[in-house]
């Protein structure tokens, strides 16, 4: 109304309360044109929505154009890069559906960032429909028949160039800030901002900040990294993080960390003090009409190392990366009733293997309490109870671990071996790992370059390739960190107590979890120890018992005690061929007779005892002793030898 008055328009009969159609009719009756206004406002520096609208409406009134408030479309906080803007969508609908005479906007750059898009919009959406377009501040009016096309093109190109220069300036300024150690973006969990009062203020007049380690979050992260490295599944770690109300990104939905963010958290290089800038760069895709985040080649990424921002050591970090790389190892098949606590034999089913078809075992039977070969076509079928099998193998391991003198000797030997040729070998391995890491770095660069050049096609596939190469490199980085740690540890002298403590820890882990009552921290740790000590593979043989229906189950594995202990102590595994021989255990308790058969045979044939004597010693009676002796041959499929003449105790009188 104010603008109309100052433009000398007669407002008699105008009623702002009636519907838009009636007001438009009134305007047409007065010989006025009808117009629409579009404004966009994205940063505080640009002229705000109010200013833009006022300028447009005043300009319209001066040109005898009536703009009903219903025809004003506004985008706020929207970047000009995105064409999916609600206000713009509404504007398009009005242009298409309403009888308009004039379209007004404050500046051409309000429409789009790119010149060709501005031109296309004005030409196709406005002028083609017979509507006049006016850009108030740019002095563009399509009623100016010849000149407007050129003006729109030039103006648009100039705006575009300015936007790009500004973007480059912003980026350069950020690189500078990054090198000075200032915060240039959102900080990940584990870090917080520390204000530097003496630094110059930001463009928005806010104080600058540097990142620092958040001690509480860092403590929690270290705990979780330990858990994951020791064998806790990622999903369980994440559940605990959420349950403990662990910190999360303030932008996270629902105020809790997502599983994917948890994964990102524990694989973030910032945890070991590596900060990168410019890993991705926004690039405008004209064809697709939006910006894409293009990963940049490693050479152009700015890297800084800040020891004071380290949260975990390299060795632990890369051990966790290795776990992430290995994935779930088929453990996702674990079926567990809701609320039932996790027990150690739930976590090691995949260690058992079928000797016939080499398939691993899977939960079977009632409630998944047993396990069998996962191959449905396998001829050699049989089932063992998982709990029984675990206990049998664990008992054997405990027994082996208590023969510690031998292990002590071996560990001492490998500790000594490091002084001489060990050092050279270690350095050679370090060089080899470094070579592999560099090689993979070049491969990643190449993949990134290919991905950034591909404007169409399947980007998921390329992303997967890059991820895979990065994971492979993480494996080498872990081994490098371990080797470096070994080289450092060379000067350390290993004590007998240290080895004993490790052996005792393994024994107690197996003992405590065998009962099924240990807490989850111990369970995951024990499962990892079990896996390591059995070298991750137990062959399960089902042997038929001659003349019996049920089979017996035998577990055969090569214990890797020395390797496991060495690893635990941070020693480089001995390279000389210390191949342990395989051991056998009954995975299913054999029938009494079978169990004592071998012992009875020994007593009878080697110790030359009589069955009565044997029966007394074993407390089973002479009849059973005799049967057990026969069974010893039956089990091996051998004929019973000639009965020897009685050398035993004479019959009792009477």
CA distances from 157 to 82, 112, 378, 568 (A): 18, 11, 71, 64
Closest C-alpha among 471, 529, 536 to residue 327: 471
3-state secondary structure 404-450: HHHHHHHHHHHHHHHHHHHHHHHHHHHHHHHHHHHHHHHHHHHHHHH
Nearest-approach distance from CB 274 to Zn ion, in angstroms: 46
Q: 360 vs 470, which CB is nearer to Zn ion?
A: 360
Residue 373 to residue 468: CA distance in whole angstroms: 30
Stretch that binds Zn ion, among 42-50, 370-378, 528-536, 599-607 (CB under 5 A): 370-378
Residue 397 to residue 560: CA distance in whole angstroms: 10
Complete DSSP assignment for 37-58: EEEEE-STTSPPHHHHHHHHHH
The binder of Zn ion chosen from 354, 415, 480, 502 (CB under 5 A):
354
The binder of Zn ion chosen from 378, 595, 618, 626 (CB under 5 A):
378
The binder of Zn ion chosen from 46, 261, 375, 551 (CB under 5 A):
375
Q: Is 551 in the site for Zn ion (CB under 5 A)?
A: no
Nearest-approach distance from CB 360 to Zn ion, in angstroms: 9
The binder of Zn ion chosen from 373, 478, 499, 596 (CB under 5 A):
373
Q: 174 vs 375, which CB is nearer to Zn ion?
A: 375
Spell out the long-range contacts of 626-633 with Cβ–Cβ below 8 A and sequence spacing 24 or more: 627/593, 628/593, 628/596, 628/597, 628/599, 628/600, 628/601, 629/597, 629/600, 629/601, 629/604, 631/593, 631/594, 631/597, 632/597, 632/598, 632/600, 632/601, 633/601
Length of the chain (residues): 654
Q: 87 vs 555, which CB is nearer to Zn ion?
A: 555
Token output for 549: 């229906």
Residue 155 to residue 142: CA distance in whole angstroms: 14
* Contact call for residues 285 and 245 (beta carbons, < 8 A): no
Nearest-approach distance from CB 316 to Zn ion, in angstroms: 38
Burial class (CB in 10 A: 0-12, 13-18, 19+), 36: buried
Q: 357 vs 501, which CB is nearer to Zn ion?
A: 357
* Contact call for residues 28 and 53 (beta carbons, < 8 A): no
Q: 382 vs 615, which CB is nearer to Zn ion?
A: 382
At 496, phi and psi to the nearest 5?
-60, -35
At 276, phi and psi to the nearest 5?
-120, 150
Residue 43 to residue 79: CA distance in whole angstroms: 9
Q: 149 vs 380, which CB is nearer to Zn ion?
A: 380
The binder of Zn ion chosen from 1, 99, 303, 357 (CB under 5 A):
357
Residue 231 to residue 417: CA distance in whole angstroms: 30
Stretch that binds Zn ion, among 25-33, 372-380, 454-462, 473-481 (CB under 5 A): 372-380
Contact code string over 45-84 relative to Zn ion, x by CB under 5 A? ----------------------------------------
Stretch that binds Zn ion, among 148-156, 165-173, 257-265, 365-373 (CB under 5 A): 365-373
Stretch that binds Zn ion, among 203-211, 353-361, 572-580, 612-620 (CB under 5 A): 353-361
Stretch that binds Zn ion, among 52-60, 302-310, 378-386, 428-436 (CB under 5 A): 378-386
Q: Is 356 in the site for Zn ion (CB under 5 A)?
A: yes
Nearest-approach distance from CB 373 to Zn ion, in angstroms: 3
Closest C-alpha among 162, 92, 83, 85 to residue 117: 83
Closest C-alpha among 472, 464, 201 to residue 325: 472
Number of neighbours of residue 207 by Cβ within 10 angstroms: 13
Contact code string over 311-350 relative to Zn ion, x by CB under 5 A? ----------------------------------------
Q: 88 vs 552, which CB is nearer to Zn ion?
A: 552
Nearest-approach distance from CB 386 to Zn ion, in angstroms: 17
Contact code string over 114-153 relative to Zn ion, x by CB under 5 A? ----------------------------------------
Nearest-approach distance from CB 538 to Zn ion, in angstroms: 14
3-state secondary structure of 476: helix
Contact code string over 198-237 relative to Zn ion, x by CB under 5 A? ----------------------------------------
Stretch that binds Zn ion, among 87-95, 352-360, 395-403, 596-604 (CB under 5 A): 352-360
Complete DSSP assignment for 570-624: TPPPP-S--PPPPEEEESSPPPHHHHHHHHHHHHHHTS---HHHHHHHHTS-HHH
Dihedral, 529, 543, 388, 334 alpha carbons, nearest 10 = 70
* Segment 399 to 428, residues that bind Zn ion, using CB under 5 A: none
| Site residue total, Zn ion (CB under 5 A) | 7
> DSSP class of residue 267?
T
Nearest-approach distance from CB 338 to Zn ion, in angstroms: 31
Nearest-approach distance from CB 348 to Zn ion, in angstroms: 18
Q: 380 vs 545, which CB is nearer to Zn ion?
A: 380
Nearest-approach distance from CB 377 to Zn ion, in angstroms: 8
Q: 274 vs 378, which CB is nearer to Zn ion?
A: 378
Q: Is 355 in the site for Zn ion (CB under 5 A)?
A: no
Residue 38 to residue 34: CA distance in whole angstroms: 14
Residue 223 CA, distance from chain mean position: 17
Nearest-approach distance from CB 540 to Zn ion, in angstroms: 9
Residue 528 to residue 518: CA distance in whole angstroms: 15
Nearest-approach distance from CB 367 to Zn ion, in angstroms: 22
The residue ranges that bind Zn ion (CB under 5 A) are 354, 356-357, 359, 373, 375, 378
């Amino acid at each position: 109304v104010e603008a109309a008055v100052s433009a000398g328009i007669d407002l008699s009969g105008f009623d702002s309360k009636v519907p838009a159609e009636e007001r438009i009719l009134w305007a047409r009756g007065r010989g006025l044109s009808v117009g629409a206004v579009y404004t966009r406002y994205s940063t505080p520096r640009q002229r705000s929505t109010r200013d833009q609208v006022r300028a447009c409406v005043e300009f319209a009134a001066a040109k005898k154009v009536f703009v009903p408030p219903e025809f004003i479309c506004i985008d706020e906080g929207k970047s000009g890069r995105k064409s999916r803007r609600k206000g713009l969508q509404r504007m398009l609908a009005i242009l298409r559906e309403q009888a308009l005479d004039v379209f007004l906007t404050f500046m051409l750059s309000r429409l789009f960032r790119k010149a060709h898009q501005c031109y296309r919009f004005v030409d196709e959406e406005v002028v083609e429909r017979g509507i006049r377009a006016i850009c108030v501040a740019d002095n563009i009016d399509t009623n100016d028949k010849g000149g407007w096309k050129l003006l729109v093109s030039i103006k648009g190109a100039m705006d575009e160039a300015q936007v790009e220069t500004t973007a480059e300036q912003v980026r350069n300024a950020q690189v500078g800030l990054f090198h000075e150690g200032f915060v240039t973006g959102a900080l990940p969990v584990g870090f917080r901002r520390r204000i530097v009062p003496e630094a110059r203020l930001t463009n928005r007049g806010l104080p600058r900040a540097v990142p620092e380690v958040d001690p509480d979050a860092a403590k929690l992260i270290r705990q979780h990294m330990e858990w994951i490295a020791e064998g806790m599944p990622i999903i369980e770690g994440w559940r605990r993080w959420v349950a403990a109300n662990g910190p999360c990104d303030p932008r996270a939905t629902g105020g809790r960390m997502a599983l994917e963010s948890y994964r990102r958290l524990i694989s973030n290089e910032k945890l070991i003090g590596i900060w990168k800038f410019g890993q991705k760069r926004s690039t405008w895709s004209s064809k697709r009409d939006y910006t894409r985040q293009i990963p940049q080649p490693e050479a152009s990424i700015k890297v800084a190392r800040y020891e004071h921002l380290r949260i975990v050591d390299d060795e632990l970090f890369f051990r966790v990366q290795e776990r992430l790389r290995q994935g779930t190892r088929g453990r996702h098949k674990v079926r567990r009733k809701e609320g039932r606590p996790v027990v150690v034999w739930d976590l090691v089913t995949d260690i058992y293997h079928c000797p016939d078809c080499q398939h691993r075992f899977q939960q079977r039977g009632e409630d998944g309490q047993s396990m069998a070969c996962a191959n449905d076509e396998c001829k050699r079928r049989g089932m063992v109870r998982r709990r029984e099998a675990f206990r049998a193998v664990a008992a054997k391991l405990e027994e082996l671990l208590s023969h510690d003198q031998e292990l002590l000797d071996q560990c001492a030997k490998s500790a000594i071996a490091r002084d001489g040729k060990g050092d050279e070998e270690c350095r050679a391995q370090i060089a080899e790992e470094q070579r592999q890491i560099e090689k993979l770095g070049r491969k990643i660069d190449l993949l990134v370059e290919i991905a950034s050049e591909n404007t169409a096609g399947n980007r998921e596939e390329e992303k997967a390739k890059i991820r895979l190469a990065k994971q492979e490199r993480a494996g080498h980085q872990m081994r490098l960190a371990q080797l470096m740690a070994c080289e450092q540890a060379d000067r350390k002298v290993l004590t007998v107590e240290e080895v004993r403590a490790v052996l005792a820890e393994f024994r107690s882990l197996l003992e405590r979890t065998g009962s099924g009552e240990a807490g989850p921290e111990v369970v995951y740790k024990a499962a990892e120890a079990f896996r390591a000590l059995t070298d991750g593979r137990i062959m399960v043989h089902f042997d038929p018992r001659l003349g019996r229906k049920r089979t017996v189950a035998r577990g055969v594995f090569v214990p890797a005690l020395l390797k496991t202990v060495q690893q635990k102590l941070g020693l480089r595994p001995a390279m000389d061929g210390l191949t342990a021989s395989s051991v056998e255990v009954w995975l299913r308790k054999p029938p009494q007779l079978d169990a004592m058969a071998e012992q009875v045979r020994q007593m009878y044939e080697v110790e030359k005892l009589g069955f009565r004597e044997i029966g007394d010693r074993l407390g089973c009676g002479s009849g059973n002793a005799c049967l057990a002796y026969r069974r010893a041959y039956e089990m091996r499929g051998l004929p019973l030898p000639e009965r020897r003449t009685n050398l035993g105790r004479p019959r009792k009188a009477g």
